[in-house]
Amino acid sequence: MTPPAARGTVELEWLEGGITAVPGILASGLHCGIKPGAARDLALVFSSTPATATGVFTTNRVVGAPVKVSRERLRAGVTQAIVASSGCSNVATGEQGLRDAREMTEIVAKQLRIPEERVLVASTGIIGRYLPMEKIRAGLPKLVKALSPQGSRHAAEGIMTTDTHPKEAAIRVELGGRPVTLGAIAKGTGMIHPLMATMFCFVATDLAVERDALRAALRRAVAGSFNRISVDGDRSTSDTVVILANGLAENRPLARGDRRLRVFQHALDALTQRLAVMQVRDGEGATLVIDVRVRGAKTRRDAEVAARGIANSPLFKTAMAGRDPNWGRVVSAVGASGAAVQEERIAIWYGEEQVCQQGRLRDGVSWELVKAELAKPEVTLTVDLGLGTAQDHIWTCDLTTDYVKINTGTS
């Protein structure tokens, strides 16, 4: 499940330091009182120089006020800061919600002495409540003062909701003879789903890159990472992935078609996939990660639909929680998915051990080997539809009683 180490000849070096591993990036996080207790609930990421920026947002037709404001701001393509809060998503809050989101950017901009238009905003948490602006107004100036080149961890904590730990990663890659750094913080857990769902990922890099090329690279990375994971099949109203490229690597700026983009894409893919798998592993109540691979599909779309069908099946996910290699539920989920399927061509493996052949139980299955696979924290399920050559995969997690407890508020 570890992201592919190095494709081709590109060498990646994993770094400590998260998003602040990137030159010119400062971050901070603190508690202002949105969440009960003392948990951090505000986060700030700041680039000392204006950065080329682009973002990808939720596909939910209801989106939060912060998503509306950030989308608008990104049209100009230059960003210098992202202010984020957790505990209240500022969704389904009408005009008041828009005013609150804008005020957050305004306060931060004033303190940072940059134009308000260069500040993005993101909020996560319960839907349908107004932000406690008194607390936020008091907290934001402190948040700006707390900015630090070692602030990544605090910022990662400031965006956590039901996450059990902060998520950050950084990577260095050589590009045209120069070292370039990419760093990120993320949050995930409940409602994580294909097509973006209550998850944030803020990425920064010191690469100099044109906006079109940056946008294409981000879309491609998201398609292979955050859109390839699923926790409960729900989709949030607030998902936000943003990348800031501040150019401090002083490379000759990359434009579309530049061959060096392949190296950058490789690094960005590795970074986002690592964070995506972290999100699944920390899915609400999850005890294991399952890489659901479908191959032999008639079309790529069929492969995706079948993989999502399995990854979102409550019956498959509860079987996994019980470490029960119930391949019948896999067959059923595939059949219900809508993908082209011929029962007598289906083959299924847990890890390397084949359990189903020609749509029925394979003779001589080693249930010991299957059990050993299911004892791993990261399980691979492979389904071959036997109808073509297309393939796809989805990372998912099991469905446990803890998921239900977390979401009924009884945990």
Active site residue ranges: 198
Check residue 336 for interaction with a second copy (CB under 8 A): yes
Q: Closest CB to a second copy among 216 and 365?
A: 365
**Residue span binding a second copy (CB under 8 A) among the ranges 116-124, 160-168, 214-222, 227-235:** 227-235
CA 95 to CA 102: how far, in whole Å? 11
Check residue 36 for interaction with a second copy (CB under 8 A): no
**Residues 283-322 close enough to bind a second copy by CB under 8 A:** 312-315, 318-319, 321-322
**Residue span binding a second copy (CB under 8 A) among the ranges 24-32, 158-166, 216-224, 228-236:** 228-236
Check residue 241 for interaction with a second copy (CB under 8 A): no
Residue in 136, 191, 347, 383 binding a second copy, rule: CB under 8 A: 191
Check residue 377 for interaction with a second copy (CB under 8 A): no
Give min distance, CB of 35 to a second copy, in A: 17
Give min distance, CB of 97 to a second copy, in A: 8
Residue in 39, 78, 127, 369 binding a second copy, rule: CB under 8 A: 127
Q: How many residues does the chain have?
A: 411
Give min distance, CB of 310 to a second copy, in A: 11
**Residue span binding a second copy (CB under 8 A) among the ranges 55-63, 141-149, 181-189, 372-380:** 55-63
Check residue 57 for interaction with a second copy (CB under 8 A): no
Check residue 375 for interaction with a second copy (CB under 8 A): no
With a CB cutoff of 8 Å and minimum separation 6, the contacts of 270 are 3, 4, 12, 171
Per CB under 8 A, residues contacting a second copy are 59-63, 89, 91-94, 96-97, 126-129, 190-191, 197, 232-237, 312-315, 318-319, 321-322, 324, 326-329, 331-336, 339-341, 343-344, 346, 356, 358-361, 399-401, 403-405, 407-410
